[in-house]
């Protein structure tokens, strides 16, 4: 009788774990960091948002170059990395309280440029490329910008596309199907970029960060949050975490990104929160118009004291660029990346 009882208990636990495993996404497992700094062995920790980790096993072609300790900290075993690559692919098999999940991760060699120059909607003003086009992104990369900013909205049937305004060529993005939107052409003949195509283009290089702005939806908060979930899921699917930083004017959108992707670097754009408020909500940085910082001159030092990064937009005049560089802000977003590059170089 006891043996039969034990068998059924064991069977129930196995089935229960299997069923539970169907109710969480592999996106629940994440790393606290996706880049390898030269000279630093520790990458970050493996985390499971919905459950408790029991064990982690590294699999995949590049598994020999990495190790996991008892705290589930991922480190580089550099002597066993086969080749010098831009990135390495590993699979982590994570066992825990909810079952077992395997997820692929891309670990980048951190060769990103650090010169403070963020091209606003790509490098378009002096290149002839349309704003927010893949051509403008490619120009920003060729110039050697630290980052290239771009704007994301969602179609009526939930396809994220790249455009600044709520409408493109007189067509409302939020109220129009992807099929109709993708018939539209930019001034250079390029199709209206989808987020997927834009990210794939940006991931063909490893020098310039992709600064992804989630635009608040004209249809309201619910639609904005739905778009945020779709966008973060796509970044995860493409394993683009190392390339992408997030910004938004919508505070709730920013907080949703941090909930979905606790590793993400997220900055707030609207300018109505103090550095202390942002720090208390675990933001990576503030990203404010220069007028906001002129009205609140102490916020630069406050941000530094709260370990927030400081980005200032949209700065196109040389004198203002030089003033902000003198204050040692972290980033400057500009329509004149060529001018700012000439100053920082």
DSSP secondary structure string for all residues of 91-152: EEEEEETTEEEEEEEEEEE-----SSEEETTSS-TTT-PPTT-HHHHHHHHHHT-SEEEEEE
Query: In the prediction, which pLDDT does 23 show?
Result: 39
Spatial strand order in the sheet of 66-68: 29-31, 42-48, 73-76, 66-68
Decide if pLDDT at 197 tops 90.
yes
The hierarchical CATH code for the domain 25-109 is 2.60.40.60
Minimal CA–CA distance to 341: which of 97, 205, 142?
142
Domain regions of the chain by residue span:
25-109, 117-344
Decide if pLDDT at 243 tops 70.
yes
CATH fold of 117-344: TIM Barrel (3.20.20)
- pLDDT tens-digit map of 165-186: 999 999 999 999 999 999 999 9
Query: In the prediction, which pLDDT does 93 show?
Result: 97
Which residue's entry shows tokens 């980048």?
108
Residue 26's pLDDT band, with cuts at 50, 70 and 90, is: low
Quote the percentage of the chain above a pLDDT of 70. 92
CA dihedral 195, 199, 201, 205 (to 10 degrees): 160
Contacts of 334 (CB under 8 A, 6+ apart): 117, 118, 119, 120, 313, 314, 315, 316, 321, 340
Decide if pLDDT at 210 tops 50.
yes
| Mean pLDDT, residues 34-50 taken together | 94
Buried b vs exposed e over 282-302: b needs ≥16 C-beta within 10 Å? ebbbbbbbbebbeeeeebbeb
Structure tokens at 267: 């900055």
Phi, psi at residue 152, to the nearest 5°? -120, 135
**Cβ 199 vs Cβ 235: under 8 Å:** yes
| Mean pLDDT, residues 21-48 taken together | 84
**Cβ 72 vs Cβ 53: under 8 Å:** yes
Q: Is the pTM of this model over 0.85?
A: yes
- pLDDT tens-digit map of 280-339: 999 999 999 999 999 999 999 999 999 999 999 999 999 999 999 999 999 999 999 999
């Amino acid at each position: 009788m006891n043996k039969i009882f034990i068998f059924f208990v064991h069977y129930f636990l196995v089935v229960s774990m299997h069923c539970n495993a169907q109710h969480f996404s592999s996106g629940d497992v994440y790393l606290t960091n996706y880049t390898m700094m030269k000279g630093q062995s520790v990458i970050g920790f493996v985390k499971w948002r919905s459950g408790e980790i029991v064990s982690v096993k590294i699999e995949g072609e590049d598994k020999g170059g990495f190790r996991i300790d008892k705290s589930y900290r991922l480190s580089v075993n550099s002597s066993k990395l086969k080749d010098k690559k831009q990135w390495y692919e590993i699979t982590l098999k994570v066992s825990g309280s909810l079952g077992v999940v395997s997820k692929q991760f891309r670990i980048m060699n951190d060769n990103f440029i650090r010169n403070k120059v963020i091209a606003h909607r790509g490098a378009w003003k002096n290149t002839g490329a349309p704003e927010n086009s893949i051509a403008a992104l490619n120009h920003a990369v060729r110039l050697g910008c630290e980052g290239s900013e771009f704007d994301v909205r969602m179609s009526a049937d939930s396809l994220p596309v790249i455009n600044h305004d709520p409408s493109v060529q007189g067509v409302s993005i939020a109220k129009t199907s992807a099929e109709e939107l993708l018939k539209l052409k930019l001034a250079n003949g390029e199709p209206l970029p989808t987020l997927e195509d834009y990210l794939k283009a940006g991931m063909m290089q490893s020098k310039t960060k992709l600064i992804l702005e989630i635009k608040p939806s004209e249809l309201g908060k619910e639609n904005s949050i739905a778009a945020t979930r779709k966008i973060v899921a796509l970044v995860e699917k493409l394993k683009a975490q190392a390339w992408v930083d997030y910004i938004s004017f919508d505070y709730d959108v920013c907080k949703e990104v941090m909930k979905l992707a606790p590793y993400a670097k997220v900055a707030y754009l609207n300018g109505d929160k103090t550095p202390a408020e942002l720090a208390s909500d675990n933001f990576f940085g503030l990203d404010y118009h220069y007028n906001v910082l002129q009205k609140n001159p102490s916020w630069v030092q406050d941000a530094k004291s709260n370990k927030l990064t400081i980005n200032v937009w949209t700065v196109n005049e040389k004198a203002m660029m030089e003033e902000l560089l003198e204050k040692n802000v972290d980033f400057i977003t500009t329509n004149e990346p060529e001018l700012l590059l000439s100053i920082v170089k």
